[in-house]
Structure formats: C-alpha cells, structure tokens
Structure 1
Amino acid sequence: MRLLYSLVWGLSLPLALFRLWWRGRQEPGYRQHIAERLGFYPAIASTPTIWVHAVSAGETRAAEPLIRALLARRPDHRILLTHMTATGRETGGKLFADVGPRLYQAFLPYDINWMIRRFLRHFSPQLCVLIETEVWPNLVAQCELQSIPVTLVNARLSEKSLKKAQRLASLILPAARAISCVAAQSNPDAQRLHELGIERPGVTGNMKFDVTPPPLMGERGAALRRSFGERQVILCASTRDGEEELILQAFVEQTPLLQTNPLLIITPRHPQRFDQVASMLEARGISYVRRSTLNHEEIAPITRDVQVLLGDSMGEMYMYYAACDIAFVGGSLVPLGGHNLIEACAMGKPVLTGTHTFNFSEITDQAIACGAAFRVDGALSLFRQAHALLANQQQRQRMGEAAYAFFLQHQGATARTMQMLEPYL
C-alpha cells in the first residue's frame, strides 16, 4: 500500500508544484524556498538537532511553549522547525525572532521517500516531534530506518478522521505503530488514537493553554477599542468559506432591529480569502474598513456609519479578542469541525460557537459546561444570542470570568509533554 501511495505522490508532484505557484498569486511565501519542498537545502553547520514539525500557523503557535522548553532543556541543541504552509513559516519567524541561530526554519519536503531521505541526511535530527495531526507514512518509515524516534504531541483525532484513517488501515497502521510516543490532548482523542493502532497514548492536555497572550496584542486591542468610541463589538473569528455569507446575511437582518449600533469584526481564517470577503461586503452595500488601512499605533476613530471591520491581518488574533465584547469562533457554522476557544478564553471573553465542533469536542463541551460559552445553531441564532448578551452586562462579565478561569485551569500540558519526551532527549 505504501508503494502505491509513493507512486501516486510521484505522479502528482507536477500538480503539487503547480498548486504552490497558484497559491503564490495571493500568498507570495508559497513561491519562496521551492527547492526545500523537494528536499534541497542550503549548507548548515553541524549541530545536535531536535526537529519539530508544525504544519501551519495554529500548530506553530501551539508548539511555542514546547519549543521554548526544549531550548531551555537542551541548551547545546538546535531546534529545526518545519512547516508546510507559508503562514506557518511566517508565524514561526515572528514568534521566535528572539531565539536567533538556535532555531532554524524550513519547509518539509513532500512525503516522497528520496526527498525525505535527503532531508534527514542533511539535518540529522536526533528526535522528531510532530504536532497535532501530522503523520506521513513515508516520513515515519524513513525515520524508523534511520533510528530517529518519532513522537506525536498535542495530538488530536476526530471521529471523522479516525474513520477516514481506518479506511486506509494498511497505509496508516504501520505508521501509527512506528511512533515511539504519543501525547494526546484529551481522553477521547487518546481513545481514538488507540483504536487507530497506537498502543499506549498518554493524555497531557492542550499546549495552547500554555501560550501566553503577548502584552503588545493587549495594548493594540485597547487602542483599537478606543477607536470604536462607545460602540459594542461582536467578533466573528477564524471564519471559513461558506460562513461569511451566512454571518453577513444574519447581521443585515438582525442589526436594524436593535436600538444600539454594534460593530462587527470579521477575521477570515485564511489570508487568501481577505479580498473575497471584502467583495462580499461590497456586494451587499455594507460599509466597512480594512485593518490593513489602519495605523498600528495611533488608530483614527472609526465613524458610526462603518458597520464592519475586516480583520485582514495575520498574527493579531489576540488583539481582536481584546477589542471585542463577545467572540464567535468560526469553522463551526458549517461542518468543518470548528477551531479552539482557547485564545478567546485567555482574553476573558464570552464565547459563542456553532454546532460543528468535532475537532475540538471535549474542550468546547467543557467550556459550555462551565458557563464560558454558548452553542448556537445558525447565524441568526448567533446574532440573537450576541444581542441578548450585549444587553446584559452582568451575564457577559460572568461568562468572561468563567472563560478566563477555564483557561487557567487547563494549563500545564507543556510540562506533562516534556515529561513524556524526557526518555528521548
């Protein structure tokens, strides 16, 4: 099965390269470092190396406390941080700008045997640490051949992903069984990973709870909030394709019924969709401004005729949470599995989420159970609930306090993960 998988990868390589070029029209980072995608890297000094793979921006942010713990634990080692997406690499560059040469970033090559072998020979990592869900059959097999332990941390596996993996059991099971150590986010994740073939997955919690909100983002959020005057603010964060249309339609229908004039902030999950959402706003005649047109330090007042702020920036999610009264976390109005509520809870904000949260089911259910979040069954329900909360300051305060307490309660995953990794360091 892995031979067939490798053949398919080889045949599809031209399409993969074309896709890089195509995405590079809107995200130039995809047209940079192309040789790395094929396993070719510039010369680098030989240093003991721990390799951490974080596919995109979310995994990179989740890996931050672990990477800093590894740097402190092994001061004689370099961290090799690899990505698959341009936003992941950009995020890593910003997060670890203070680390200097002890952290080296690169793109991981495609999962083709000869490319992976070149990558491993070039960097000679002593340990591979995969973040969340990134298990590639050839990568794991090549690491096994070269006696490089493979670990999977902050691991999560939804019921949907489990069923998909089980359909490809002859390909996925050997890779799963070759992983030396697995640290799962939750008990349900650990159970599903066990069903996949991993013998003894540990449960360490979600490392995203250990990420400290940058003070600069809080300051920027306060400055942004001042530009709104006395208006209340609803944030729709990390929205996905198919959600913005529903959100904007409900916003247009619900807002005229209110005595107040709340501002809506929309932050699309992926930067290539910023212009697409701007076109939706223009097509509906909705007055909006783009974050990219505002000064970072001294933001001019946003007039009351502006209905929407389009958050077309990267790395400022904490700023948007700091500036809002209520936060809806996207990916959950449509069946995409949702996104985590942790950043909103870290900023002490009442949280709303849709019904499709299977990627983060346990965290979402726990947040709802402790009074930090509400679940809504559609975009109209979202705004009805948001408007009810805007009219009830005491309830908003209670939910915000519960959200922050929930955030604090779940910290410590990084220390538990380091304990599991200790035998391999």
Structure 2
Amino acid sequence: MLTRWLYTLAFYLALPMLLFRLHKRVKKNPAYRHRVRERFGLYPPGKPLQNTLWFHTVSVGEFLAAKPLIDRILATYPNSPCLITTMTPTGSERVQKAYSEQLASGKLHHVYLPYDLPDALSRFLKRFNPKVLVIMETELWPNMIHYTRQRGVPIIVANARLSEKSANGYRRILPLFRPMMREVALIAAQSDADGERFVEMGLPPRNLQVTGTVKFDLDIKPDTVTEARALREHWGGQRKVFIAASTHEGEDEQVLEAFLYLRSKVPESLLVIVPRHPERFEDVANLISARGLNMSRVSKQDPIVADTDVILGDTMGELLKMLGAADVAFIGGSLVPVGGHNMLEALAMGVPALTGPHVFNFQVVAQMLTELGVLKTVTTPLGLGQAVEALFNDEETRYALSKRGKYVVEENRGAMDRLFGLICQHIS
C-alpha cells in the first residue's frame, strides 16, 4: 500500500509536466481541447450509468482485437450500458467510427481513461458505475485496478500477454505490481509462458486461464476482400506490390533502402508504405521525396500511374484491404525494437508475411508461425529486399504460402469463444 501511495505522490508531482503535454497536444489538434477534461474524470452534467460493462482498449490495435468480443457482448446484454475507454486519439477515432450509431443512441459510451489519480478515478467510477472491467492485453494502472476492485468490480485481463522483456521491467517495481495481481479476478493469457510469468509476478494460480490469442479470430468481411481486389486493379494489376505495414520511426528508411534494391532487380515493383501513427505521415512523405521516388498519396487521391514508385497510405482504417491488395507484406515495428505488430492480418488476407527480429509483443505467435513455415524473419534492409525479390520471382511458393497462411489462421480460431464464456460468467 505504501508503494502505491508513493507512486500516487509521484504522479501528482508530475502533473505540471502532463498539463504542458496536454497544452502541446491541444495546439497541434484544437479538437482535442474538448476532451481534456475527460483525463481528469470531468464530464458534462448527466445521469450516472449503472451496471456498466466496461472495456479498456489502450489504442487501435487493442480495440480492433476487442471489437468482435464487444459486438457479442452488446448483442448478448442489450439492456446493459457499455463503455469503451482508450488512451490515444487514434484509438478514440476508431471507436467513434466503428460505433457511431450506438454512441448516438446512448447504448454505448466512450471516453478517455482518466489519469491514474484517485480523485479523477473516483469521479469516473461514480459516473459510470461499472459491473465488470475487461482490460485488453496488459494495460495495468495501480490506482485504476485498486479503486475499481475496491468497489467490488471484477477485473478481467483478456488476451493477456507478458513478454520476458516486460516481465523484467515489472520485476523492478514488483512491490507495486504484485498487489495488482492479487486484485485481478481473472487473467486470460495468450500462452502458457505468459501465464507462468503472471503467476511469478504474484497472480494466484486459480485466477489464471490460458485461452490463446484472439488475434487469430479475425473478422474478414466479404466486402473487404472485394475492396482489396478492386484496389489491386486500381494500383495496376500487372505490377508486383510490396506493402510495409505499420512502420515506425527509424524503420521507413530501412524499408525504402530495401525497395531501392528491389526496384533494381524487379523494375515494375510498387511499394505501399503505411506508417503506424498518423502524426508521422508528413515525415515519411519527406523521406520518400528525398530519395527521388515518385509518390502517390492515398489521402490526396493522387493517380497511380506507370511511373509511380511508392504509394503512401496516409489514411486510417484501410490497412486490411491494402494488405489484401499486395503480393508480399512486411509487418513493421520489428526492424526497430518496438515489438512488432499483428502479422496474422496479412496471412488471413492470403498474403505472405515478413517480419524483423523485434517481435517480443507477438513472441509466441511469431514463433508458431515461423515453425509452421508461414513467417520469415529478416534482419537488414538488404535481407528484406532479397526476401521480397525471391517471393516476387517464385509465384508457386507465393501461392503456397498464401494458401497455408490462411489455413493456419483458420485452424487456430477459438480464443474469442473461450473469452466470451469467461466474461459472461463474471457478468452473470
């Protein structure tokens, strides 16, 4: 308890820095001004909700993983209010876009998670009165966990993962982390290794279930496949397309270097590069231009012509169909130590996938896919370029990987059903 008090004191002392950061964000995006109060648990006058089903998804990736689960919960408990909290503007935008009708009708609610301060959390909890809290993956805040549990609310960490790297970090603050583990009702871990690390960190073994990862339970709609085919024709049906998805700072340069090599070997190659964060779109556009490459930007609806070298995917919500329109995909966040991103989306769309070595956020999935022969790891720009070249020049292997990748995803579905059942037990 003393450790959490010291943590809280440090958080209060850091408030001036947080306020300065908020001020910078408002200057950059004036629309964000209207959401600042949510960070402190301050809301417009309104009647408090009761027995709210609360889902916390930190950002876009966690929300997309949770959406099929949220949809099922909404359908199963139509009379219970539902709340989705996020931490990032991009995550918030995706929630508002996906659930515009439910938000307008008042069936579903969305706010930013308040800062992890007792007074902000008290106001938040009094306003929304949750019946259950479902946290996607591992977004654990000491005061959020403590004050939510203090109100008798069961806390479920769904699709939970704890890499060895993250566990090493938490070991340094074990007196703060261990009490949280005792207040969690259930951790539904992605793998045995994740579960063992949670138990080592203080989780009672009876509160652990290994359910697998919901990332295999992708919801690929027929419209998405149709849109991907149309997009491929728009890009030029005869050209070979290499997509670099969810790239990060320090990675785009490596992708462009790989593409320059690739173009020297396969001149008709077309690169599609999709940065992970929208605030980097302009920086990546400048990197492309600096290399003398002809660029078309999706946001500006630039025409795709014969001498277009690079398409910059500078929009949100279109990555899945872009993946489906490519011949080979590189999944970003992996040539730099970010931890990787979801390589299953490419496989589910029938596109062979490549990744860098830094996949600690997807360690179990990446190892499994590698052992099954549907994921290849590259470590350098040259290695990336050569791997894409090899696949471009071997249509038979490319087709076989496409079929096998889709099969592997289909065969490993089921975590969503297991999670849904466990959550319903706690709601009931």
**Partners in 1 of 2:243 and 2:120 — Cα distance?**
43
Measured after TM superposition, the shift of residue 215 of structure 1 is 3.7
Instruction: Kindly indicate whether residue 247 of structure 2 is the aligned counterpart of residue 239 of structure 1.
Output: yes
Aligned with residue 192 of structure 1, among 197, 214, 229: 197
Unaligned ranges ≥5, structure 2: none
Which residue of structure 2 lines up, in the alignment, with residue 323 of structure 1? 325
Kept in 2: contact 1:345–1:403 (CA 8 A) = yes
**Partners in 2 of 1:253 and 1:389 — Cα distance?**
14
Partner amino acid, structure 1, of 2:264: P
With over 3 angstroms needed to count, the CA separation of the structure-2 counterparts of 1:242 and 1:25, relative to structure 1, is farther
Instruction: Kindly indicate whether residue 223 of structure 2 is the aligned counterpart of residue 221 of structure 1.
Output: no
Kept in 2: contact 1:26–1:272 (CA 8 A) = no
With over 3 angstroms needed to count, the CA separation of the structure-2 counterparts of 1:63 and 1:252, relative to structure 1, is same
Aligned with residue 332 of structure 1, among 312, 331, 334: 334
Instruction: After TM superposition, list the pairs within 5 Å mapping 1:153-164 onto structure 2.
Output: 153-164=158-169
Aligned with residue 294 of structure 2, among 287, 297, 300: 287
Partner amino acid, structure 1, of 2:217: D
Which residue of structure 2 lines up, in the alignment, with residue 381 of structure 1? 383
Kept in 1: contact 2:298–2:314 (CA 8 A) = yes
**Partners in 1 of 2:126 and 2:31 — Cα distance?**
25
Alignment length (residue pairs): 419
Which residue of structure 2 lines up, in the alignment, with residue 121 of structure 1? 126
Partner amino acid, structure 2, of 1:276: D
Q: Secondary structure at the match of 1:33?
A: helix
28-37 or 404-413, which deviates more? 28-37
Kept in 2: contact 1:389–1:396 (CA 8 A) = yes
Aligned with residue 89 of structure 2, among 86, 94, 99: 86
**Partners in 1 of 2:334 and 2:381 — Cα distance?**
10
Deviations 1:314-361 (A, max 9, x none): 111111111100011011111221112121111111010111111101
Which residue of structure 1 lines up, in the alignment, with residue 372 of structure 2? 370
Instruction: Kindly indicate whether residue 82 of structure 2 is the aligned counterpart of residue 75 of structure 1.
Output: no
Kept in 2: contact 1:231–1:261 (CA 8 A) = yes
Instruction: After TM superposition, list the pairs within 5 Å mapping 1:25-424 onto structure 2.
Output: 25-27=27-29, 30-42=32-44, 43-44=46-47, 46-99=49-102, 100-200=105-205, 201-229=208-236, 230-258=238-266, 260-294=267-301, 300=303, 302-424=304-426
* TM-score, length of structure 2 as denominator length: 0.94
Measured after TM superposition, the shift of residue 185 of structure 1 is 1.3
Measured after TM superposition, the shift of residue 254 of structure 1 is 3.6
Measured after TM superposition, the shift of residue 242 of structure 1 is 0.7
Kept in 2: contact 1:29–1:86 (CA 8 A) = no
Measured after TM superposition, the shift of residue 97 of structure 1 is 3.1
Kept in 1: contact 2:247–2:332 (CA 8 A) = yes
Measured after TM superposition, the shift of residue 219 of structure 1 is 3.1
**Partners in 2 of 1:23 and 1:402 — Cα distance?**
44
Kept in 2: contact 1:338–1:357 (CA 8 A) = yes
207-216 or 159-168, which deviates more? 207-216
**Partners in 2 of 1:27 and 1:243 — Cα distance?**
26
Measured after TM superposition, the shift of residue 24 of structure 1 is 4.4
Deviations 1:359-383 (A, max 9, x none): 1011111112222211112221111
Measured after TM superposition, the shift of residue 403 of structure 1 is 0.9
**Partners in 1 of 2:27 and 2:274 — Cα distance?**
21
Kept in 2: contact 1:156–1:185 (CA 8 A) = yes
Q: Secondary structure at the match of 1:228?
A: helix
Kept in 1: contact 2:49–2:127 (CA 8 A) = no
Q: Secondary structure at the match of 1:126?
A: strand
Measured after TM superposition, the shift of residue 76 of structure 1 is 1.6
With over 3 angstroms needed to count, the CA separation of the structure-2 counterparts of 1:222 and 1:88, relative to structure 1, is same
**Partners in 2 of 1:408 and 1:44 — Cα distance?**
44
Q: Secondary structure at the match of 1:104?
A: strand
Partner amino acid, structure 2, of 1:232: K
Kept in 1: contact 2:136–2:160 (CA 8 A) = yes
Kept in 1: contact 2:331–2:354 (CA 8 A) = yes
**Partners in 1 of 2:411 and 2:229 — Cα distance?**
26
6-15 or 323-332, which deviates more? 6-15
Kept in 2: contact 1:181–1:421 (CA 8 A) = no
**Partners in 1 of 2:270 and 2:227 — Cα distance?**
17
Kept in 1: contact 2:337–2:358 (CA 8 A) = yes
Kept in 2: contact 1:177–1:198 (CA 8 A) = yes
Kept in 2: contact 1:217–1:316 (CA 8 A) = no
Unaligned ranges ≥5, structure 1: none
Aligned CA-pair RMSD: 1.6
Partner amino acid, structure 1, of 2:399: Q
76-85 or 10-19, which deviates more? 10-19
* TM-score, length of structure 1 as denominator length: 0.95
With over 3 angstroms needed to count, the CA separation of the structure-2 counterparts of 1:46 and 1:362, relative to structure 1, is closer
